[in-house]
A and B are shown apart, each in its own frame.
Chain A
Amino acid sequence: MSMNKHDIQHKQAFDEPLWWGLFSAGGVCFAVLLPAVILFIAVLLPLGLLPAEALSYERASSLLFSVPGFLFVGAAVCLPLFHAAHRLRHGMFDISVGNDALNKKLMYGGAALLSALALGLVVAGFFS
């Protein structure tokens, strides 16, 4: 395999570090934040083990539609989305489904769209 310098430069994967960085950051958020989020919102709250007004509509909206709320959604929704997209893309390559160039666009594109939607909702709530 004698590849000249031009070929190697041409084949540089400039996008991969970005996807891998988002995947890594998403993995950390997935592991650290999501169990706590699920515990509070999906287990303790429905079981009535939290004070009733802990996440009342007023309190929840003021928490969510704020700068910390924006960061929270970024960390608990957007980054894990990119983590999942990366895994799905590589998983599809592993089982030989589709082609990688298209899968990349679909997976990361999907994650970007859903992220924009989630963050857009927070911004919309902030200004309403």
Chain B
Amino acid sequence: MSTEQISTNVISTQSASTKHISVKRYLPDNSTETYWQEYDLPVDDSTSLLDALNHIKEQLDSTLSYRWSCRMAICGSCGVMVNGIPKLGCKTFLRDYEGDIRIEPLAHFPVQRDLVVDMEIFLEHLAAVKPYLIDDNPVKPYDPNAPETYQQTPEQLERYKQFANCINCGLCYSACPQFGLNPEFLGPAALTLAHRYNLDSRDNGKKQRMAELNRHDGVWSCTFVGFCSKVCPKHVDPAAAVNQGKVEAAKHTLIALFKG
């Protein structure tokens, strides 16, 4: 086995055990059918699922396709289903699994090839809620000669900080049965980011975002299953954000009714 240093851990051949994993393959150039392929891998206690996939790709089967980049749970690209649960490959360790390990592409997204899914609809939903600071009426006009920075107290930061940790990995969309039933549902991450910017003291875009949130396909499609919060690798708690969003949408509606 090659000992060449690569960006992930090279699995040592002296490792104590071998594990068996099954990967759901889809190669649209060859066939429209999916099939399961089995691999036996040398593993040690530090072998992550991403290490295992890299091992397959480099040593066993170069035709396997999957996404990855940072290998430290910050880029959000290596999401896959592990025994039916959405997980980040780099944050999942094979030592935690006994017996069968079944790897599939993220649920509820169209599969392009093997473990690579099309995230387009998720990105569209993200864009729809305008997840950036909107400040149409700054308190002071912008002066390029003396630009002023926004100031924020630790308390103001604390209000949205937890919801700002999203890495857009899409695991919550794979966990969400409502997104599975209706892909037009804005979904956990987009609604959470909307809430995060609505809570930000520097932002004035809440009105624009509420029009998106207060649709049937906005907050109201959520039935508070809560699995999104369970699978979130960054502990963002989208379920809480979406349901706080329901309160905000209800307030928004009441105010709109009185204003006519």
Where the two chains meet, the residues of A that have a C-beta atom closer than 8 Å to any C-beta of B are 1, 3, 5, 8-9, 11-14, 16-17, 20-21, 90, 93-94, 96
Contacts and interface: CB of A to CB of B under 8 A. Distances in A.
B246 A13 contact: no
Interface of B: 124-125, 127-128, 177, 181, 211-212, 214-218, 220, 223, 246, 249-250, 253-254, 256-257
A9 B211 contact: yes
A13 B214 contact: yes
B249 A17 contact: yes
Chain A contact residues: helix, strand, loop or mixed: helix
Contacts of A93: 181
Contacts of B253: 12, 14, 16-17
Contacts of B216: 11, 13, 16
Given A1-B128, A13-B220, A16-B220, A21 B250 contact: yes
A20 B246 contact: yes
Contacts of A94: 177, 181, 223
22 contacts: A1-B124, A1-B125, A1-B127, A1-B128, A3-B128, A5-B211, A8-B212, A9-B211, A11-B216, A11-B217, A12-B214, A12-B253, A13-B215, A13-B216, A13-B218, A13-B249, A14-B253, A17-B214, A17-B246, A17-B253, A20-B246, A93-B181
A5 B181 CA distance: 26
A94 B180 CA distance: 10
A1 B125 CA distance: 8
Given A17-B250, A20-B246, A94-B177, A12 B215 contact: yes
Nearest to A87: B223
Contacts of B254: 17
Nearest to B210: A12
A20 B248 CA distance: 12
A8 B177 contact: no
B246 A11 contact: no
A19 to B, nearest CB: 9
B200 to A, nearest CB: 22
Contacts of B212: 8
Contacts of A12: 211, 214-215, 253, 256
